[in-house]
Amino acid sequence: MLAGVIPLPTERVSLGRALGRVLAEPVDTRVSLPPWDNSAMDGFAVRSGDVTGASMSEPTILEVIGEVAAGHAPEASVREGTAVRVLTGALIPPGADAIVPVEDTDAPRGMATLPDRVAIQRGAATGAHIRVAGGDVRAGERLLGAGVRLTPPRLALLAATGHAELLVHRLPRVAVLATGDELVPVGEPLGAAGIHDSNSVSLCAQVRAAGAEAIDLGIARDRFEEVVARLRDGIATADMVVASGGVSVGAHDVVRDAFGAVGTLDLWRVAVQPGKPLAFGHAEVQLPEGPADGPEGDDGNGADPSTKRVLLFGLPGNPVSTFVTFELFVRPVLRRLAGHADATGRMLIRAELVEPFTKSAGRRAFLRVRLEPDPDRASGWRASMAGGQGSHVISALAEANGLAIVPEEVDALPAGALVDVMVLDEGGN
């Protein structure tokens, strides 16, 4: 499914709008951080040689000849027997090679007029409490590579180094469609044979949690024409359409045929549990003349700019299957479209399974588990079943914070067996 997926075109966004976006080019810094030597403490800039051996009982008295606050250039130079009061972030005045924190002096803490003299009550080594220019990053260094997501700390790094605008990938748009005669929108009465459409809600939320834009196409009845029409709506507006339900072998399962009508069905059925009847396909759409995409238009990756390829996912309708197959198949493709270098972006933790588990061999199983640290176990982690493992058991899904992976060839695991658990960020604590 990942084969041939090309990241979406790029656009320039301001730093303030870049949260969650994926960098489309590496960013190097032209400035060093800190840009100049500065003080890590409120205190006094001194010559370390002047204060050697200073102590509480035998303080060294220095004449205070000035002050430097953050944002101000130093005016005085520190000469033998003198000190300059400094505030955190202030440039180091010439002549000084150490900072004595105010706590190690007789000067009052907090707001106070500049004293004439200060008693230094503790010695300071050369360089003490000085943040050296370039100690964080050096001019010319690579800050971030292409394909990383912009998180709050990364935005801080880019802001500190003066990057006001960034080249990022366009956000993927994902259309979400529910299928099923039984489905009733949340908030409406169920009637005699209805169930609430929970997949539209969870899928839209998973799309957003993956950093993409969700378009809710609502519910289609189990009728070929209706599903085809809704798919066409999605294909026209989105980069990907994710449908749920109607992909199995039931008499009313029309989604696969509908994929064939709007595009191509490339694959059906995967050897996973839950989620076996997953369908995957694509549709090729002719784009109107002119720039295809946003102000920059050119995606610069060699794709034919006059067509767009819309990926089609048909996920099985059982809510747990829908969730798990999104996680396993849709999310990585979505992340690749969004430009992520790392398609899965999930951590695997090796943990001990608390309960035994049996299944038939031939399919890889993904158990809904609670992963918790456990110092009494050799692995340091235990994974216990979050509840019933049926693909309709939403309560266990809501309880889970991980998916324990049981390989296809395995048919039984004893209690205490080691399993890899995929950690779900969105799983609650």
* Residue (212 or 315) nearer to ligand AMP, CB: 315
- The one among 83, 158, 171, 178 contacting ligand AMP by CB under 6 A: 178
Residue 85 CA: distances (Å) to CA of 44, 60, 62, 112, 414: 4, 15, 11, 11, 68
- If you compute the radius of gyration of the chain from its CA atoms, what whole number of angstroms results? 30
Q: Which of 123, 147, 234, 245 binds Mg ion (CB under 5 A)?
A: 245
Among 74, 93, 147, 246, binds ligand AMP (CB under 6 A): 246
Q: At a CB cut-off of 8 Å and minimum separation 6, what does 244 contact?
A: 176, 177, 178, 179, 199, 200, 203, 314, 315, 316, 317, 322
We find the least distance from the C-beta atom of residue 256 to ligand AMP, in angstroms, to be 11
If one asks whether residue 93 binds Mg ion (CB under 5 A), the answer comes out as no
* Greatest Cα pair distance in the chain: 94
Beta bridge pairs of residue 14: 165
Residue nearest to ligand AMP (CB): 317
- Establish if 325 lies at the interface with ligand AMP (CB under 6 A): no
Min dist CB 322 to ligand AMP, Å, is 7
Residue choice 48, 77, 88, 198 for contact with ligand AMP (CB under 6 A): 198
Cis ω before 274 (30° cut-off from 0): yes
Query: Do 107 and 124 form a contact (C-beta atoms < 8 A)?
Result: no
# binding residues, Mg ion (CB under 5 A): 4
> What Cα–Cα distance (Å) separates residue 1 from each residue in 51, 109, 245, 280, 331?
68, 63, 20, 8, 11
Binding mask 137-176 for Mg ion (x = CB under 5 A): ----------------------------------------
Residue 60 binding ligand AMP, by CB under 6 A: no
Partner touching 216 among ligand AMP, Mg ion, none, CB below 5 to 8 Å by kind: none
Alpha-helix runs per DSSP H in 214-369: 224-237, 255-262, 319-325, 331-338
Size of the site for ligand AMP (CB under 6 A): 18
Q: Is 61 helix (H, G, I), strand (E, B) or coil?
A: strand
Residues that bind Mg ion (CB under 5 A): 180, 245-246, 317
Residues that bind ligand AMP (CB under 6 A): 178, 180, 182-183, 195, 197-200, 244-246, 248, 250, 316-319
